[in-house]
Amino acid sequence: MSDHSLLLVNRSKLNLTGINNVNTFDEDEILLETVNGFLVVLGQGLHVTMLNLDEGKVTLEGTVTSMEYKAQGTDIKAKSKNILTRLLK
């Protein structure tokens, strides 16, 4: 298992390691699958500026308002469906 870390700089740049997948993203919410469970990043104007899943590294920019971990096994399919529904409207 690789290490998971995050570094938030001035609430505007978030560097992450130990990322397995970026499940969903939009300007207000990004759902990441980490080696320690799911991480939901909420904010404004969020975007992925660097993505290297081979190394498990992701960099996000925008205004981060909150971050919350969800336990492994959490049902994120409903959350993904809600984002897809919003995009298709």
Q: Any idea where the domains of the chain sit in the sequence?
A: 5-88
Mean pLDDT of 1-22: 92
Cα–Cα distance measured from residue 9 to residue 37, given in angstroms and rounded to the nearest whole number: 22
Q: What pTM value is reported for the model? A: 0.79
- The string of pLDDT tens digits covering residues 19-66 is 999 998 999 999 999 988 899 999 999 999 999 999 999 999 999 999
Architecture of domain 5-88: Sandwich (2.60)
pLDDT band at 77 (very low <50, low <70, confident <90, very high): low
